[in-house]
Amino acid sequence: MKNLLHIVIILILTVLTQIGGLVYLIALLLIKKSVNQRRLKGICVFVFLYLLVTFLIVPFVAPIFGRERIKETEFVQAHSFFFKLANRNYVKSELNNAIEEIAKGFEKQNAGIKIVYLDANFPFIDQFPLLPHLSHNDGKKIDISLIYENPNGKLTNKKPSTSGYGVYEDPKPSEYDQVSVCQSKGNWQYDFPKYLTFGRINKDIKFSERGTRNLINLIVKQPEIGKLFIEPHLKTRLNLTNNKIRFHGCRAVRHDDHIHLQLK
């Protein structure tokens, strides 16, 4: 029974953080069976090792295998500490450079407004998926937040979802409704991230057409970027025509809460 619990914990940590399951296993092996307060000491050893590996070892080892930690600058930041704590912030260096260039260009045109990133890739192993995104498995993919504005129309760095996902900019009644089309084909997962918001925040802000269009146009101008996914009704509403902007298909999830971009 106890072993089963350990296996479940290892699986969950591996799915969430890639290296967490292995670190947990090492912590288990390090703590002697006979020691007093084994569970408490085990948790302390795990937390210590996990933080050590995540922040001081992996960032230096991952580049050997072709991925690097997203370079955070004043204008490139994670939506929350979770993405960094869970090793979900690794990309190939070409993507890292492209993000930096896009952020510089965007900030030049919109003082103080940042690129806020969500899930990217894990540090190691091609084909190892970063769930729930099946395709984020090669260092070439990253999700970033849409741009929002305050009630006075000024762009803001605030976002409406605690997790970064699941607060949608729905199709208007007159717009093409890809969401209903996919759901009617039986793709129940298309709308699923609405359960993953962990709460709606900053309820006063609204989607910025101007800011998001500006950002997307800078992204598709980058020669390294091969594709960008956004929901079809937003593509139309924002008047986006670049042929790098594609529909991701009904087997993915909806993309009117974030933008997905990837290298060629």
- Using CB under 5 A, list all residues that contact Zn ion: 133, 143, 260
What's the sign of the alpha-carbon dihedral 10, 16, 22, 28? negative
| Cα distance between residue 5 and residue 20, in whole Å | 15
CB-CB contact of 228 with 260 (8 Å):
yes
CB of 63 to Zn ion, least distance (A): 22
Backbone angles phi, psi at 235, to 5 degrees: -60, -45
Distance in Å, CB of 88 to Zn ion, minimum: 11
Residues 6+ apart with CB under 8 A from 145: 79, 116, 117, 118, 159, 164, 258, 259
Q: CB 252 → Zn ion: shortest distance, Å? A: 8
Record the tokens describing residue 102, joined without a space: 């896009």
Cβ proximity to Zn ion: between 135 and 217 the closer is 135
Q: Judge whether 216 and 224 are in contact, CB under 8 Å.
A: no
Output the CA torsion sign for 100, 106, 112, 115: negative
Report the residue number, 88 or 149, with the smaller CB distance to Zn ion. 88
Using the minimum distance from each CB to Zn ion, give the nearer residue, 53 or 250. Answer: 250
Beta carbon nearer to Zn ion, 23 or 220: 220
Place of tokens 């091609």: 126
The token pair at 22 is: 């292995």
Query: Judged by CB, which is closer to Zn ion: 23, or 76?
Result: 76
Residue least distant from Zn ion (Cβ): 260
Nearest distance from residue 141's CB to Zn ion, in Å? 5
Cβ of residue 140: shortest distance to Zn ion, in angstroms? 11
